[in-house]
Every structure is written in C-alpha cells, then in structure tokens.
C-alpha cells in the first residue's frame, strides 16, 4: 500500500482566501441602522437623513421608487455615509435601494408623521394593561400606523445603532407597545389621515441623569465627583463590583424581616407595640399611618371591626 502526501500549501491558501472573503462580507458590506428598514415611516414636509455604513471611501448608490434620480454618496474614513433627501407626498408604499458591494432594498415605506415616544414608566406602560385593554387591543388594526420599539441596552456611551424593527400596528404588535404612544398616534392618524410612525424609546424608573450627556453632567458641580467615580468603575470594574456586592449584602441584612435588625426583632409586628413615637405619613394609597424612619419603610395601621351577634 502506498503512502499519500498531503499538500498543506494549497489548503493554507484556500483557508486564507475564505477568511478574506468572510472579512470583506462582515466589515465591508453596506448596512443600515435598525431604524431604517422595512415598514418604516419617513417624516413628511422636510428633508430626511438616510445613513449607514460601508467600506471606508466606498461610493454608495441610493435609488427610490418615487423618483428616477439616483444619489451617489461616499463613505468617510470610518465607513459612515449620510445624505438628506426630500420625501414624496404623504402616503405609500414606496421602496428604497442602497447598493455598494451588496444591495439592500427597503420595502413598504410610508411617508407621514414620525414621533419619538420617550420617558419612564408612564410612557412604557403597555396597551395590554389599560382600561378596557382587550377591547382596545382587539380594535388596533391600523396598517398605516407603524411601531418601532428600541430594545433596552445599558451602555457607557452613546450608541450608533440599536436593536428593533418596524411593524404595522395590529392587535398582536400593539399589545406590548406604549399605550400613551399608541393612543397619541391613533389620534394623529385619525385626524390628519396620514401614516404615522411611532418610535418607543422608554425605560421605566430611569433617572433624568441617564438621559443626559456625559459632557453636560461633568460640567455640573453636583455630578462631577459621580462622573469621576463612574470613570474609575469603567476603567477597573472588579473592585467596584466587589464593593457593591458587599454593600448589597449588608443592606439585605439590615432589612431582613426576621434578622437582628429587622422589624420582627424590633417588635414592630406585635399587636401591643407602641408606635406613638413614629411620625405620621399621609398618603392617598394608605391614608395616615405611623412610619418607622429607617432604610426601609415599615407601615402600620389600626382598624376597628365590629361584630354583631345573631341569635
């Protein structure tokens, strides 16, 4: 039996060529941000920006279904390209084609009103939890209202893109969408009779500082030490994470109901506990109740019940 010979040279060249092809496709292909995609809405009555990424210095051709003209735009040294164009009259659907090393066609584009719905829990509150939710959701068949929800992501600096996609408004898609955003968009659509695009970028419980730029916060005396601390955490996260976990553990021990510092140990749950030294707290939800001032709010209330004997 003879011995076969393996020629590694040709295999290496083949592998190297495949890697080059994959790299070109991954880093050189024309791509668009998530907010520019199928089912999107362009703002009427104003020049709208269209942008994306390609190879550095690559020329990208843009064509649209409502115009015979094509636009040529050149990517900068970082591969980003952008240009502005006048959209057609409100309505649709339209198409847009972007061509470079590859070709992208954006379909079912409408032109009308585009609004950003941003805020905390009030804006985030979904349509599925409003009064008469089932009735409202079931009636939400508005194909010319388009919904885009920005997926949540914690980041140390502003991002050039997000995760999300445009969908036509329907009972299935509106259920988890911002209720305030939907009702606002529905009224616009009904009164103006034009397509409406709603971009929901809300996050319940976020502080105002989270929506403020690093530059602005760093210029404020109250926030300058905090911003410096954040920079230290980002540069060396492990010690900060360890310190944080220790603080959380200590806090849990202090508020543990049955622990040595908890409400049970202090006798707060006893029927004859003397709460005369507690302050009074008036609240629409709880009425006027005594409160123990500590790291956790313990509420107590008194109720008098009357029983009637039937004989």
Q: Do 262 and 198 reside in the same domain of the chain?
A: no
Q: What is the pLDDT of residue 250?
A: 85
- The pLDDT, as a whole number, for residue 240 is 85
**Residue 18 in domain:** no
Here the CATH number for the domain that contains residue 142 is 2.60.40.10
Judged by DSSP in three states, 97 sits in strand
Q: Is residue 32 part of a domain?
A: no
* Cα(38)–Cα(141) distance, integer angstroms: 18
Residues 164 and 71 in one domain: yes
pLDDT at residue 269, rounded to an integer? 67
Number of domains in the chain: 2
pLDDT for 275: 77
Q: How many other β-carbons are positioned within 10 Å of the β-carbon of residue 77? A: 7
State how far the alpha carbon of 2 is from the alpha carbons of 5, 135, in Å. 10, 80
Q: Which of 158, 182, 202 is the last residue of a domain?
A: 202
pLDDT, one tens digit per residue, over 130-187 is 999 999 999 999 999 999 999 999 888 889 999 999 999 999 999 999 999 999 999 9
For residue 11, is it within any domain?
A: no
Residues of the chain with pLDDT under 70: 1-28, 255-266, 269, 281-311
Residues of the domain holding 278: 256-306
């Amino acid at each position: 039996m003879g011995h076969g010979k393996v020629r590694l040279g040709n295999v290496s060249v083949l592998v190297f060529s495949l890697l080059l092809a994959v790299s070109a496709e991954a880093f050189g292909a024309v791509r668009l941000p998530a907010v520019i995609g199928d089912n999107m809405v362009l703002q009427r009555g104003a020049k709208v920006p269209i942008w994306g990424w390609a190879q550095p210095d690559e020329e990208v051709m843009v064509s649209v279904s409502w115009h015979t003209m094509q636009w040529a735009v050149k990517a900068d040294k970082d591969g980003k390209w952008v240009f502005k164009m006048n959209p057609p009259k409100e309505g649709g659907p339209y198409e847009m084609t972007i061509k470079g090393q590859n070709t992208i066609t954006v379909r079912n584009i409408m032109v009308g009103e585009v609004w950003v719905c941003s805020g905390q829990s009030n804006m985030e509150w979904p349509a599925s939890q409003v009064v008469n939710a089932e009735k409202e959701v079931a009636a939400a068949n508005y194909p010319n209202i388009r919904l885009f929800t920005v997926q949540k992501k914690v980041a140390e600096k502003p991002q050039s893109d997000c995760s999300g996609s445009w969908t036509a408004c329907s009972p299935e898609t509106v259920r988890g969408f911002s209720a305030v955003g939907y009702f606002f968009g529905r009224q616009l659509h009904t009164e103006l009779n034009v397509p409406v695009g709603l971009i929901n970028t809300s996050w319940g419980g976020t502080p105002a500082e989270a929506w403020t730029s690093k530059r602005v916060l760093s210029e404020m005396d109250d926030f300058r030490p905090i911003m410096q601390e954040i920079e230290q955490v980002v540069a060396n996260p492990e010690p900060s994470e360890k310190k944080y976990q220790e603080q959380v553990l200590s806090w849990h021990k202090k508020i543990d109901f049955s622990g040595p510092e908890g409400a049970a140990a202090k006798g707060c749950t006893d029927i004859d506990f003397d709460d005369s030294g507690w302050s009074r707290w008036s609240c629409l939800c709880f009425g006027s109740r005594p409160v123990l001032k500590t790291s956790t709010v313990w509420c107590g209330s008194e109720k008098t019940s009357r029983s009637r004997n039937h004989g």
